[in-house]
Amino acid sequence: MANASAKSKWGIRAHPVRYALIALCVVLLGSFAFLGLKTKAQVDEIFALNAERKQQGYFMAEFEFQMLSVIYHVDRGHYLTALSIIRAVHHKLESGEGLIKLPQDATPSQTLTFFKDLQQPDTGDFMQDKGYPVFASISVTANMINTIDGLSRKTGMPLELNHPMRFLEGFNEPGELIPLLDDLSMIGPFGARMPQTPFVEIGELIGFAQDLEELGMYKFSDAWHLAFIDWANSHQHPQTGLWGPHRADDPLPAGGGDITSSEKIAQVYLDNDGNRRRQDAPLQHRDQIFSTVLAHLNSAAPEEQSDLSDMHEWILSQNRGLRFITRYLWRELEADQRDVAHAKFETLIRTRFERTFIPSEKAFSLYPGEAHADLDGTGETLGILDELGVYSLERQNRLWGEQSTETKMLPPVTTNDMMAALRETFSQIQGGNSIRLHRIESSIFDPLKPDLIYRPITATIPDAVELAYGIEGWLVQTPQQMGNWMSKDSIRRRLPELEQIQPVILTDPSAALPPVFQRTGSSWQAIAYDILGRAIGQTILHPKTESKSEAVDSL
């Protein structure tokens, strides 16, 4: 699990934008030594302050995109503009001037009003600070609308904003869209060395547009969508199938493109179930995409002593690679390809738990080595589990087939030692991580509402239901209300519906079961699950209390 002692001086680990800003300091050191050293110190402090302010419950939705704006300006030689952003953000985070405290102990209705009031009346975006490139407004507004949508559903209020989104007028026609896409995709010598550039916002833009249309909040023209598709077709690398930023002298993506950005751009062609959005616009180079993504999923994690930005990018692209396969490629994969992907998914889940799970808090950090869990890290991991259908039988069946045909059936067991029977059942299921026990007499069976969860202490990854209760408990305790892009409400929407009384959880193989599970006359369905939340084995357990005559005969 995550090791808190591995954190840096400032309490934060890998972040690609942070390393880009440190690279800026190196540029400055070449000409102005004092200025470069001072800026490097501010960069370190900015990321520590961001983590601190999130923990304190401040509105930090702008931070990621403010920092990405710095890279945008540096790559275009606008060093003074980049420096002014760094200084302004540092002052704001350090002094607290202009920071907005998120409401504590507010009702959902009050929280909804609070977030809606953050919208800017003149532009209709949610950027509190002015003077940033338009892509920053796109991403911040997209995240805020997601939060407002969730709260509107929760309160039964209509989804509506206080002001029109006038900033969309800057790119709501093909004539404005294409120059924006070209600008975001172009990189110079500095951008070519960066693990992340504003190119990632191209995928955010198409996702934002689709969300607005699905929510009935805005409509882009058919010509706009076709222009986006034509642009994407002409910028896809034919050998890798990916998209990515490119230099002025080469229209193809540098380095073959990147998985993180490409996974988002693919949504212009396909929905989350792999269905075409338009029959006249297929996703091209599918075989090349799968080969490229699979090769990356096969790649080993960077060594611990490697550049931390390399570790961050590896983890992020592994996550997005999984989503690329499950959403857009899965339905056309062969059985052997799915088996390979399944093995890689298991490795990814283990890596995520080993490096970012905080056992004492039962939630996740965003980066390896952090001392505390946060909303962004927890939401990111829940997103992976959601893709795998851990909390959705329908999604699991789409990925793995009907569980009734895939689950190993063991013969029923009548026993006077239920704990021994559980251990024996577990030992017969290869790849098992936990067992959920359900009372057969219950009128409604719900795989996510067991009466008991048995997970041997050697199985260090919590059962999915156990994890859900742990995360909900952490959400109740943490003062954080919103991270850089995840909110408490958005995380709760990814959790299954939980009972007020959580199931009994046993991890000690020598422990005794509570008496209710050993009463004669009750029958229990025991279902074993792997770390992807798939039911892989089951049996029926019948408790039997030893009679006096049986006890005498056994002497």
Q: What is the DSSP string of 392-432?
A: -HHHHHHHH--HHHHSEEPPPEEES-HHHHHHHHHHTSTT-
Q: How confident is the model at residue 105 (pLDDT cuts 50, 70, 90)?
A: confident
> What is the tally of structural domains in the chain?
1
pLDDT range class, residue 11, cuts 50, 70, 90: very low
* Torsion sign over Cα 422, 423, 428, 432: positive
CA pair distance 285, 270, nearest whole angstrom: 14
Listed range (116-130, 205-219, 296-310, 384-398) with the worst mean pLDDT: 296-310
Between 243-257, 325-339, 395-409, the lowest mean confidence (pLDDT) is in 395-409
| Structural domain contains residue 183 | no
Q: Please, are residues 437 and 517 in contact by the beta-carbon 8 Å criterion?
A: yes
Q: Give the Cα separation of 151 and 116 in Å (integer).
A: 10
441, 445, 446, 452: CA torsion to nearest 10: 20
Please say if the pLDDT value at position 404 is more than 60: no
* DSSP bridge partners of 505: 453
pLDDT of residue 29 exceeding 80: no
Judge whether 336 lies within some domain.
no
Give me 346's structure tokens.
């298991």
303 falls in which pLDDT band (50, 70, 90)? low
> Does residue 440 lie in a domain region?
yes
Q: What is the mean pLDDT of residues 371-376?
A: 90
pLDDT tens digit string along 233-270?
A: 999 999 999 999 999 888 889 989 999 899 999 999 99
Helices and strands, number each (H, E), in the chain: 20, 9
* Residue 425 is assigned to a structural domain of this protein: yes
Domain containing residue 521:
400-462+499-553
**Phi, psi (deg, nearest 5) at residue 184:** -70, -25
- 3-state DSSP call for residue 465? helix
Q: Specify if 452 maps to a domain.
A: yes
pLDDT for 551 equals: 40
pLDDT at 319 over 90: no
Examine residue 490 and state whether it is found in any structural domain, yes or no.
Answer: no
Ranges 31-40, 192-201, 311-320: which has the least confidence: 31-40
Highest mean pLDDT among 108-122, 310-324, 486-500: 108-122
Q: Is 364 helix (H, G, I), strand (E, B) or coil?
A: strand
**151 in any annotated domain:** no
Angle of helix 308-323 versus helix 286-297 axis, rounded to 10: 130
Higher per-residue pLDDT: 321 or 51: 321
pTM above threshold 0.85: no
More confident residue, 323 or 306: 323
**What is the average pLDDT score of the chain?**
84
Backbone angles phi, psi at 366, to 5 degrees: -80, -35
Considering the domain boundaries, does residue 534 fall inside one?
A: yes
Question: In this structure, what DSSP letter does residue 359 have?
Answer: T
Residue 14: pLDDT band (50, 70, 90) is very low
pLDDT in tens, 147-188: 999 899 999 999 999 999 999 999 999 999 999 999 999 998
Buried b / exposed e along 331-349 (16+ C-beta atoms within 10 A)? eebeeeeeeebeebbbebb
Q: Is the pLDDT of residue 389 over 80?
A: yes
pLDDT in tens, 494-521: 999 888 888 988 887 777 778 878 776 7
The fraction of the chain above a pLDDT of 70, given in percent, is 86
The neighbouring-strand residues paired with 207 are none
Query: From the CB of residue 31, how many other CB atoms can be counted at a distance below 10 Å?
Result: 9
Give the model's pLDDT for residue 50.
85
The pLDDT-based confidence of 197 (bands split at 50, 70, 90) is: confident
Q: What is the mean pLDDT of residues 436-454?
A: 87
Backbone angles phi, psi at 165, to 5 degrees: -85, 75
Query: Which of these, 137, 211, 125, lies nearest to 180 by C-alpha position?
Result: 137
Find where tokens 């409400």 sit. 489
Torsion-angle region of 274 (φ positive above 0: left; ψ -120 to 50: alpha; else: beta): left
3-state secondary structure of 452: strand
